[in-house]
Each structure stands twice: as structure tokens, then as C-alpha cells.
Structure 1
Amino acid sequence: MLSSERVSNPVSVRYAWAGDPFFANLRNSDGLPAEPFRTDEWLPYERTLE
């Protein structure tokens, strides 16, 4: 379960997905580090100029 006082209606989660997980600190109950993950399948933002 994930929660945040700063996010009232979360729609996805990304963890250490930016390519440099130096500060990644999520661990499971056995103390093993979590791999980077994301719960969305959104494409990168593309700005269109009209």
C-alpha cells in the first residue's frame, strides 16, 4: 500500500525508474532491495506545436 499526504489521488507509481537509482532505498521484509518499477504504461510526453 502506498500513500502520501501530498498526493490526494495517486494514479501510478514509479520507483527508481530514472536510470540512476543511487538514492533508491526500498527493501522487502527480507532486507533485499527492490528493483526499479513503474505501475503505468504511459508513453513519454510529446509536445506538439500547432
Structure 2
Amino acid sequence: MPRRLYFQPLSWKLRLKVALGAAKGLAFLHSSETRGIYRDFKTSNILLDSVF
């Protein structure tokens, strides 16, 4: 029988913090200094550590 892990959903405050951080990272990637376009931006590519 496979073992299932259950996690509590993130609070709205933490979700907004993650979204703001992702937006800042995307803005950096698209800045005029780097001149790159990141096209594979999706939720599964946003990695969080133990302190989010």
C-alpha cells in the first residue's frame, strides 16, 4: 500500500509572499541587464525551502 503524505494548505499571507517573490524573480529575469526571456514560468517550477 503506498504511503500518502498530507500537508496543510498555505495561509493567504504566505501565498502572497511566495507570489511576490516569484514576481520579483521574473522581473529580474526580464530586466534589461540580463536580456533574457524566461518562457517556462509555472507553479511547479517555483521551489520552496523549509522556511518558504
- Normalising TM by the smaller chain, what interval? under 0.3
TM-score (norm. length: structure 2) = 0.21
TM-score (norm. length: structure 1) = 0.21
Instruction: Tell me: higher relative CO, structure 1 or 2? Use CA pairs within 8 A at least 6 residues apart.
Output: 1
Structure ranking higher in strand proportion: 1
Structure ranking higher in helix proportion: 2
